[in-house]
């Protein structure tokens, strides 16, 4: 599967953005989808993941505590899309955001668990 992330930009603190991840191929529904971010000089950080269709992860989603209540992950299986809705953005949310696909059947917060990655989209939040 090939992934392409989009939707980033320059916003002010308190604004919202929705990131999109377009996936190619007919097997999108078999992948767990995840979002990660990486700020300059920092390691890649897990944000959220959402389960594949069916299986143990079906219908499940997870959001890391640091953004819980502000960020929401979703997917549109009919259109091979995954989304990250980001509300109440803060300057510390500034990073390059990546979408990723995992062939395993369970949700994962580890970047190593994802086999496919998009190119990243820059989100900059000014104070």
* Predicted confidence (pLDDT) per residue in 57-74, tens digit: 677 999 999 999 999 999
Question: Within 13 Å, how many C-alpha atoms sit on residue 1's CB side?
Answer: 27
* pLDDT confidence bin for 26, thresholds 50/70/90: confident
**What pairing do the DSSP bridges indicate for beta strands 17-23 and 81-86?**
antiparallel
Helix then strand then coil, in percent of the chain rounded to 5, is 10, 45, 45
Which residue stretches of the chain are H helix? none
| pLDDT above 80: residue 30 | yes
Question: What would the pLDDT profile of 63-116 be if each residue is shown by its tens digit?
Answer: 999 999 999 999 999 999 999 999 999 999 999 999 999 997 899 999 999 999
pLDDT for position 104: 75
């Amino acid at each position: 599967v090939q992934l392409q992330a989009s939707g980033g930009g320059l916003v002010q603190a308190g604004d919202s953005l929705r990131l999109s991840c377009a996936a190619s191929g007919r097997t999108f529904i078999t992948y767990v989808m995840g979002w990660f971010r990486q700020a300059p000089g920092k390691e890649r950080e897990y944000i959220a993941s959402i389960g594949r269709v069916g299986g143990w992860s079906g219908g499940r989603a997870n959001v890391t505590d640091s953004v819980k209540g502000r960020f929401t992950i979703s997917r549109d299986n009919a259109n091979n899309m995954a989304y990250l809705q980001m509300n109440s953005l803060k300057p510390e949310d500034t990073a390059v955001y990546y979408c990723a696909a995992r062939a395993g059947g369970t949700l994962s917060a580890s970047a190593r668990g994802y086999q496919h990655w998009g190119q990243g989209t820059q989100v900059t939040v000014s104070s």
